[in-house]
Structure 1
Amino acid sequence: MSLLEEVVLDLERHSAQEGWDSAPRIYALVRSSELRRAEPELAEQLGLDPATDTLAALEQPALPDRAGVEDALATIAWPDTVEGCALVMERIVLPPEAEDELPEDEAAAAEYAASHPGCEDVRMIVGVLRDGARHSALRLRRHDADDEVLSGPDLVPALAEALAATLEPDEPGTPE
């Protein structure tokens, strides 16, 4: 299992323990060796083993609730010491046939989705690294009790792309 898969699944387990209906959370993924060098006291508090180099997930300030997450991601740029990032968020998903009937108005669409008999709550954890690696984990609320989690590199490609864009260096001449 890769370091990214491991941290994504750890974040999923942590989120599952906290329960549902949580605000979106974003994490900087930092090599434990870098964290021990830059912040030895924090590394010690986190219990990072000096003998191994892992990815530490450091929770960042709160993101806007649900609707504004994608816009907020467009404003994030990570320093070079950040190896990657991960996002934990919940969404309502509809069966494909219901999506054709979604109202255009955002508030009406949210109400329609939440009240649709085929809607399901899903928790998504998506992690990306600067080297292009990606991994995701998905849990449906109805599978909470049986602990069934889907896991793979391409489960939420649009969200992975948005996260990867936060890791790209600015082009010369563009404002930071």
Structure 2
Amino acid sequence: MTTASQDPLDAPTAALAAAVLEVARHLEGAPLPAPRLYALARSAELMAASPALAALLGAEGEGANAHDSLHLTPIDLDEDDSADAASAGGNAAARGGDPLAALESADWPDLAAGGAIVCDLAPGAWSVRTGAADGDTEGTPSDTADGALPSGRPLRVVVAALRDGTTWSAVHRGDEDGYVLGAALLPDISAALLQTLDGAG
């Protein structure tokens, strides 16, 4: 279950939002000892550039989406480290639990139209928008007016951005109600992610 956002959803943002939910569902219930990075590639460009790679990543199963110029295929940049995430030798574990530190070492491939970061955050430690429907007010998860982001539980977050500046986020409520969605629910992480994409390529 997700909570609908009141942020505008034009076509590029809708494509990014779909990729965010795909990443969130892929890692749902999985432990995250360190942030994970995903490159977001345009599915049509990915298939045109490398049909074999597209097949390996499952892009050929997207059907009509493979010909959608906006559709995004998430590529897990830490997949090789997932089996040994607790090892200091793995890229994911070496970054520690700080998403900003993880983004400092981000190395986006040339095919990336954007990127995403997934991590678990301690409640109250980050600035979180208090409600997409209420404008750009910010606060901590513990002081949201509607209680959508309860304190006392780790927050599973997915923050994504495109090189053109489009952003989208999903923050898990910590209960059965699922994710809260919005354009920049975690502005600090969104800004840092955009900065890495702006400096890449």
TM-score by length of 1: 0.72
Q: CA deviation at 1:132?
A: 0.7
- Name the SS for the 1:78 alignment partner: coil
TM-aligned CA distance change 1:41 to 1:80, over 3 Å: closer
TM-aligned CA distance change 1:120 to 1:12, over 3 Å: same
Pairing 1:127–2:160 present: yes
Within 5 A, what are the aligned runs for 1:27-106? Answer: 27-45=38-56, 46=58, 47-49=61-63, 50-53=66-69, 54-61=71-78, 62-63=91-92, 64-67=95-98, 69-94=99-124
Could you give the per-residue CA deviations for residues 84-113 of structure 1, whole angstroms, max 9, x where no partner exists?
0000000111399xxxxxxxxxxxxxxxxx
- Whole-angstrom CA distance in 2 between matches of 1:10 and 1:79: 20
157-166 vs 71-80, which deviates more?
71-80
Letter in 2 for 1:66: G
1:150 is aligned to 180
Q: CA deviation at 1:82?
A: 1.2
TM-score by length of 2: 0.64
How many residues align? The count is 145
CA contact (8 A) 1:95 1:119 kept: no
Gaps of 5+ in 2: 1-8, 79-90, 127-150
Could you give the per-residue CA deviations for residues 113-170 of structure 1, whole angstroms, max 9, x where no partner exists?
xxxxx522100100000111000000033x1xx2421000020010011111111137
Letter in 2 for 1:40: P
Q: CA deviation at 1:81?
A: 2.5
Pairing 1:164–2:164 present: no
CA contact (8 A) 1:87 1:127 kept: yes
Q: CA deviation at 1:83?
A: 0.3
75-84 vs 153-162, which deviates more?
75-84
- Whole-angstrom CA distance in 1 between matches of 2:194 and 2:116: 10
- Whole-angstrom CA distance in 2 between matches of 1:33 and 1:164: 23
Letter in 2 for 1:134: T
RMSD between aligned residues: 2.4
1:5 is aligned to 17
CA contact (8 A) 2:33 2:97 kept: no
Percent identity of the aligned residues? 31
- Name the SS for the 1:123 alignment partner: strand
Gaps of 5+ in 1: 97-117, 171-175
2:171 is aligned to 138
- Whole-angstrom CA distance in 2 between matches of 1:32 and 1:128: 16
